[in-house]
Amino acid sequence: MKKSSLITSLVLASLVFMGCSKKVSEPTTVEIWHTYNGSQQEYLVNAAEQFNNSQSKYVVKVLAQDYSGFADTVYNAVANGIGPSIIFNYGSTAVDYANEGLAVDISKFIAEDVKKGDTSMQDFINSLPKAMLDEVNGFADGGMYYLPGATTGPVYFYNKTLFDELGLNPPTNWEELESVCKTIYEKKGIPGFHSDGLVDNIQTLILQNGMGYIDVANKKVLFGGEKLEKIYQWYADCCDKGYFLFNTIGKYASEDLATGAIASFSGSCVNDQYITMLNGAELGMAPWISSANGIDFYTGWNRGPIFLKRADDVDRGAYEFTKFFLSPKMNAGWAKANSALSPYGLTTKESEYQEYINNLPATSALPCVQANLSVSGSFPNVTGSAQIRNILVEYLNNVVDKKMTAKDAVAKMVEDCNKALNE
């Protein structure tokens, strides 16, 4: 009897131990790979710690990577099932992963939340401006593989001292831009303008001239023909006359403006941190051209989490962290850490965000971005969309260099763009 009781006790103890072991299983690890530094890295690490302390099911690890070769490193790792669950980039970067089945469609998790009565993530996403919401939902298969985290955009930077001397105002349309640059070239002998981030301006001109961009269903571009030929020829003529500078003289447009080699440029709002005007000149900033021909369009740059496939439990953990990270209060802090804006309507109502926006330094370019945010647009995230950006610039370059006529360049460009969409 004693032997039987002992065996029974051991069996029961074993079962209890097994049950306890099941309950205290290790949390699921979610990895974020990034190339941030400074305030962005600090905020991201802190957010992961807060999330980890708020629950016990997941552990988020934030791993810094070398900037050089980062894209290839991530892609190869994900393809081999050992990569991160989240990286931060633009929606266009998610296309290749989605096409190869390496990205996670988080709409399924959102649907599960809604079914359980939790609409927080759905409500937050729905507070995006329509154009940005279209971008989030703009993948060819209708999936949601990316979300914006913070928004920046182009701003018009100019030599205010020179403009005041000549009685000029920052241009509000393309005709004014040419007129301003003509005056500057004739009076001062320097180019009036350089487009730093030329492709964004070409896209803006395309949209503001009512051409459309990509027919996703039929995999072809909607731009081309005489309208685009006129745009290319106009830009090439402005370069030929000396009004516009096509390539920078120094390493950066900000450097050329600071030294007085050019009078203005359109470029990322982050340039406000890098321009130190020389020879006593004052830096001016203004909203970039956002309307033409009665059509409003401004290119906003939205960088945020891309969801990469690992295993079902890991994928869910990445979503749960993102839901935490993109909650209004946390998103407000992320915008501040990036010296950027939040595109989410729910975030903009947060007191922390309002305090941040209302106390921007006088040297900040963000108010110029904010002035255009309501008409910010986006482009479909489909196969070939990234190649199209390069093709647009390549053929404008050929026209500027007089290697091709505008008509021939546009015709060949459309052909190459359609080919890229069908690869």
CA dist 412 to 31, 237, 406, 407, 423, Å? 44, 20, 10, 9, 17
Distances (CA, A) of 113 to 107, 117, 314, 320: 10, 6, 17, 10
3-state DSSP call for residue 286?
strand
* pTM (2 d.p.): 0.86
Give the number of other Cβ atoms within 10 Å of residue 313's Cβ: 13
Angle at 148 between CA 204 and CA 387, to 5 degrees: 50
Residue 140 has a pLDDT of: 82
276-307 pLDDT, tens per residue? Answer: 999 999 999 999 999 999 999 999 899 999 99
Q: Residue 6: pLDDT above 70?
A: no
Contacts of 303 (CB under 8 A, 6+ apart): 88, 89, 90, 148, 149, 150, 152, 338
pLDDT (tens digit per residue) in 352-384:
999 999 999 989 999 999 999 888 888 888 889
What integer pLDDT is reported at residue 135 of this predicted model? 86
Most distant CA pair in the chain: distance in Å?
111
What are 41-92's pLDDT values in tens digits?
Answer: 999 999 999 999 999 999 999 999 999 999 999 999 999 999 999 999 998 8
Provide CB contacts within 8 A for 375, sequence distance 6+: 290, 291, 296, 297, 298
Tell me what percent of the residues of the chain surpass a pLDDT of 90: 84
First to last CA, the chain: 77
